[in-house]
Structure 1
Amino acid sequence: MAGGLRGEQTVGLDGNSQGRPPFASIGFFDSGVGGTSVLLEVHRLLPAAPLLYLADQAHCPYGPRPTAELRTLSAANTRWLLARGATLIVIACNTASAAALHWLRRRFPGVPFVGMVPAVKPAAQTTRSGVVGLLATPATLQGALLREVEAAWAAHVRVEHQLCPGLVERIEAGDLDSPATRTLVHRSLAPLLAAGVDTIVLGCTHYPFLTSLVADLA
C-alpha cells in the first residue's frame, strides 16, 4: 500500500484544506472523491469537528473488487487514519461498508466504525407505486447489510437493483454531464423506469454528484 494511498485532506472549522494534521477526531475513507459527499454533510452538521479524509484513488473503483481485497484495503485505510489521530472511522463508501464493516469492528475492537447503507428505508416509506429503484455496485447489492435493510424496512415494496458499470470512473474524472455520461446514466435508469419505479436510491457515495442528471433523465 505504500505510495498507493492518495488524496489525504482535512477540513477544520473554516472548511479549508490544511494538509496533514497532528490530530483528527473523525476519519473518513473511500476509493476516491465519492465519500466527500458524506464528509461535507458531516462538516455541515459538526462545523467545529476536525475531519480527516482519505481517498484511496490508487485502487478506485472498489465496486468490482472481491470481498477479501476490499477488507485488506479497508484495514490499511483504517490503520492510516488511526495513525493520524482519528478516533472514529466513517466508511464513506457503500461497497466497503458492505464488505468490511462488521469485519473491521471485530479486527479493531474499541474503534467505533460508522458505515453506509443505501437509503432503502426512506425510499420504501415514500414510494407511491410500491417499486423502488436502487443504483449500486456489485459488492453493495450482494452484501448482507442491504439484505438486512430490505428485510427490515422494504418487505412491503419491490426493490429493483441496477448496476452502473463505469459510472464511478466518470465521476472520478469530473465528467458529470458529457454525452457519454448521460448515455451511461440513461442506460442504467431505463430498466428501472420500465419496471415502474417512482423513487430511485443512489446506493454509492459517488452518485450524489449526479443527482441533477439522474433527476433530469428520470
Structure 2
Amino acid sequence: MSSTHLLADRVTVGYGRQVVLDDVTVRIDRGETVGLRGPSGCGKSTLARVLALLHQPDQGRVSIDGTAVDAVRYAVPVALRTRVAALFQSPRAAADPRLSLTDLIAEPLRATRTPESVVRERVAELADLVGLTADLRGRRPHAVSDGQLQRACLARALVHRPDYLLCDEATAMLDASTQAHVAAVIRDYQRTQRAGVLVITHDQTLLDRWSDRIVDLDRPAYETVSSK
C-alpha cells in the first residue's frame, strides 16, 4: 500500500435512523484514479463529502497520508484541508450567485490570506487552463452556461494545487465537448501533480476508460471489482 493516500477508514454515516454508509473503507493513492459506483442512494455522494472533509462521519475517520483528520471544513488546519478538493455535479449549487467567476475562483485563496498579486496570477492561469475567456470571467453565474460555470468550479477546485481531487458526477450535466475538456484538464493535472482522483459516475464507459480500479459500494466489504 502506498504511504501517500487519502483514506476513509471504516466510515459509518447515518441521517436520522437511516444508515447510508456502514463500515466503509476506501483508499485513493497518489497518482491513481479510483472509480466509485453503486445504485442511487447507496452513499456515494456522502462518501465524497466525508473524504472532502465536508461531513463528519458518525464512526470511523479520514486520514491524509497517515495523518488523521478529526474535524471538518474550516476547523481543519489549512495545510491539510487544502490538500483535498471536490468537484460536484451541480455547479449552480456549488457557486455563490453573488460572485463573478473571477471571484469564485479566487475565493479559496483569499480565505487563506494569499497575497492579492498571487491571487490574480493564479486565477488568470487557471481561467486560461479551463478555457474561460476574459469576457466570461467578470460575469456572475446566472449569466453563463452550466458548462462555463463548471469550468470555473474546476478552476476553483484546483486553485490550491490539491493532492486529491474528488469528482462526484462532475460531467453529468455537461455537453459532450465540455465533458471532454473537463476530463482532459483533470487528467493533465493528475499527470503533472501526481494527484489521486476519485471518479463517481453512472457512466460505465467513463469508469472503464478513466479508472485504474473500480470500487463498488453495493458489494460486500466495498471491494475492488475491476482493475487495469
More strand by share: 2
If the length of structure 1 is used for normalisation, what is the TM-score? Answer: 0.29
Larger RCO: Structure 1 or Structure 2 (Cα < 8 Å, ≥ 6 residues apart)?
A: 2
TM-score by length of 2: 0.28
